[in-house]
Structure 1
Amino acid sequence: MTLNFEHTTLGQRVIFGAGEAAEKIAAEIDRLGADNVMVIISKSATEKVADFDEHFTVALWHREVVMHVPAEVADRAVVAARGKDIDLVVTVGGGSATGLGKAVALETKVPIIAVPTTFSGSEATNVWGRTENARKKTGIDDAVLPATVVYDAELIRDLPGDLAVASGLNALAHCIDSLWGPRVDPINQALAVEGIRALNEGLPSVRADSTDLDGLERTLYGAYLAAVAFASAGSGMHHKIAHVLGGTFNLPHAQTHATILPYVLAFNAPAAGDAEQRMAAAFGAPTALDGLQRLRGVVGAPTALSELGFTAADVTQAAELSLQAIPANNPREVTAEELSELLTAALNGSDPATLS
């Protein structure tokens, strides 16, 4: 076999330690030599940080965290950070909190310590996003890659089961998109396949508000691998559609990813060749779609975009906007008509196998 590819490995410190988030953050603040720390924290994570003040000084608590990082919210956070001469940002929460921290870092160039409380994976990528005029814009800048990620499974023990499932399937979408992303290579494919295996093992044990630390840590591990693979491979067809659904129609992020994933997989799988076979093996199933659908059934995944606020009247616009963004190297050529069919099936929760 002849190998001919380029791969960039992002530089980042990753720390696992259940019940140790505050002391790990304090050690990283000392290591990075920061004096004025801003903590960006989502509403759902507020009670998780009661011990922060015992370990380090917080110059600014910032609690305005909004899904899809609206431009005006991002701008207010940047102004607040500059007003306090912030030299380090700690984010605590899901992808929205991490995304807001990235918005601050993009403008101020201060480092980030990310403490995820979901499986979103944003903490392990150099991808930023913000929504303006009903369009979600994304970009790549190494300034937004968190310098350190602290994974503490204790912080996600109370994650509601339905959100844990949706967030975990969002991580799985990172893996699957990485197997055919615009910068796909053998290294990010290997990470993605291991991520699928870990998520397939971990997610069933964290459904229904589980407090199983082993399952939570397996899922965090899989989500991290998924994000690293995704940061390298780039956004494929799945994420381009999801960004349109989130940015233009304001659908909830994780649930949207969880819902459309089997439809994109069913569409691309027949043309994905070896990638499909490797996914199937990671799932331990005859086909990748069989494995994904089995997992979705076990964890009780969301099934229809109609349940999230998407309507039949939105399909044509969503298809047109998505078509403009899908990478040219997608395993299968895509038409507006096919995208409309895919979105209609996802809208109604139809059997994804009909798309293949």
Structure 2
Amino acid sequence: MKSFVYTANPTRVIFGPGASSQLPRELSRQGLRAALILSTPYQVEDADRIKNLLGSEAVGVFSEAAMHTPIEVTEKALEVTRGLKADSIVSIGGGSTTGLGKALSIRTGLPHISIPTSYAGSEMTPHLGETAKGVKTTRSDSKILPATVIYDVDLTLTLPQTLSATSGVNAIAHAVEALYAPDTNPVIALFAKEGVRALASSLPIIGNDAKDRAARSQALYGAWLCGTCLGNTTMSLHHKLCHTLGGSFNLPHAETHTILLPHTLAYNSPVVPEVMRGLAEVLVDAEGDAINGLNGLLDRLGVKRALKDYGLKEEDIDKAAAIAVNNQYANPREVKQDKIRELIRRAWAGEPARADL
């Protein structure tokens, strides 16, 4: 066995049906009495429900969280946080709300309790991606990690099936990159394979029956594991491309991850044969080929496969490729602009991924 270093992140996890009802007890455990609740404009109802649950221990709701954590939204939320004299942050929602919670927490030092309602997994990472003037940058700091994460399957039952699919594949992407990260280790590999298995088996069931509680629980469990993988390893080509396309071209986060994942795995496949074999074992109907497995999963989920469907223009492909290779980063295969351009073109056109780049 190779030598490795493994550091466990100190997040407290509360998992189970109705788990969000334990929030008042969790605030009391930490000696907190003035929580600011965060949401997107589309989840105000969820935020209000949490506010009612907390009663006098909630000082207000900020419901303007947005994709890619724009700096201007963070600055506005920061003024509200200070004006209300909040002593803690409670985020309820997907990656957008979690990102805002992280941005506020790292700036103020206030503890952040995250209640995820999707499968993005960012609540388990010390990473924060922020967008300023059309450029998305990522930083990592252990202080960015939420202090507590509450996984309540009941809050995911109304997650639309299409968003369930794309946020779930987004989580799978975290695990896939963790398997070939330069700082991976056997513990994370176990988490990654189990997370992929849980999501790949449960997401198609959710696609047929959004109220299937067993499948929803399995998917939330998988998302937790996959998010933990991302929180413990270095991001590579896949996340770099997603941040480029999201931050510079305002493409939706989960959908971009979903479209790109088979292509980025195919790009790296020639140099990570062990990873490819491991993924093929946990992907449904992969038939020994992980790329087949991912292509097939996206087909079963019925998600859109083309970046052009989300607004990327053909003339943007060259610019996206140039931005993506501007700063070299950890990736098992050398990143070359001409090949990345072709990868993006295939994803733009909606072609199935194939390992011939």
Hey, what does 1:124 align to over in structure 2? 124
Hey, what does 2:150 align to over in structure 1? 150
What CA distance in whole angstroms lies between the structure 2 residues aligned with 1:351 and 1:67?
A: 27
What CA distance in whole angstroms lies between the structure 2 residues aligned with 1:354 and 1:176?
A: 16
Distance 1:183 1:325, change over 3 A: farther
- Verify the 8 A CA contact 2:265 2:291 in the aligned structure 1: yes
Hey, what does 2:38 align to over in structure 1? 40
Hey, what does 2:349 align to over in structure 1? 348
Give runs of aligned pairs for residues 77-88 of structure 1, distance below 5 A.
Answer: 77-88=77-88
Give runs of aligned pairs for residues 148-187 of structure 1, distance below 5 A.
Answer: 148-187=148-187
Hey, what does 1:91 align to over in structure 2? 91
Deviates more, 1:101-110 or 1:179-188: 179-188
TM-score (norm 2): 0.95
Deviates more, 1:269-278 or 1:336-345: 269-278
Give runs of aligned pairs for residues 270-349 of structure 1, distance below 5 A.
Answer: 270-284=270-284, 285=286, 286-328=288-330, 330-349=331-350
- State the 1:242 CA deviation: 0.2
Deviates more, 1:219-228 or 1:42-51: 42-51
Please give the secondary structure, in 2, of the residue aligned with 1:64: coil
- State the 1:19 CA deviation: 2.6
- State the 1:207 CA deviation: 1.3
Hey, what does 2:245 align to over in structure 1? 245
Please give the secondary structure, in 2, of the residue aligned with 1:324: coil
What CA distance in whole angstroms lies between the structure 2 residues aligned with 1:355 and 1:65?
A: 40
Please give the secondary structure, in 2, of the residue aligned with 1:179: helix
- State the 1:208 CA deviation: 5.0
- State the 1:324 CA deviation: 2.7
Hey, what does 2:114 align to over in structure 1? 114
Confirm whether residue 16 of structure 1 aligns to residue 18 of structure 2: no
What CA distance in whole angstroms lies between the structure 1 residues aligned with 2:116 and 2:211?
A: 17
1:113-167 C-alpha deviation (Å, 9 max, x unpaired)? 1001111111111111210011101111122211111111111111111111111
Hey, what does 2:218 align to over in structure 1? 218
Superposition RMSD in Å: 1.5
What CA distance in whole angstroms lies between the structure 2 residues aligned with 1:236 and 1:69?
A: 20
- State the 1:42 CA deviation: 1.9
- Verify the 8 A CA contact 1:304 1:349 in the aligned structure 2: yes
What CA distance in whole angstroms lies between the structure 2 residues aligned with 1:354 and 1:181?
A: 19
Deviates more, 1:212-221 or 1:179-188: 179-188
- Verify the 8 A CA contact 1:158 1:209 in the aligned structure 2: no
Tell me which amino acid in the other structure corresponds to 1:11: P
TM-score (norm 1): 0.95
Unaligned runs of 5+ in 1: none
- Verify the 8 A CA contact 1:160 1:208 in the aligned structure 2: no
Please give the secondary structure, in 1, of the residue aligned with 2:149: strand
1:208-252 C-alpha deviation (Å, 9 max, x unpaired)? 561111111111111110010111112111000000000000000
- State the 1:326 CA deviation: 4.8
Distance 1:182 1:308, change over 3 A: farther
Aligned residues: 353
- Verify the 8 A CA contact 1:305 1:348 in the aligned structure 2: yes
Hey, what does 2:199 align to over in structure 1? 199
- Verify the 8 A CA contact 2:38 2:47 in the aligned structure 1: no
Give runs of aligned pairs for residues 39-78 of structure 1, distance below 5 A.
Answer: 39-52=37-50, 53-56=52-55, 57-78=57-78
Identity between Structure 1 and Structure 2 (%): 36
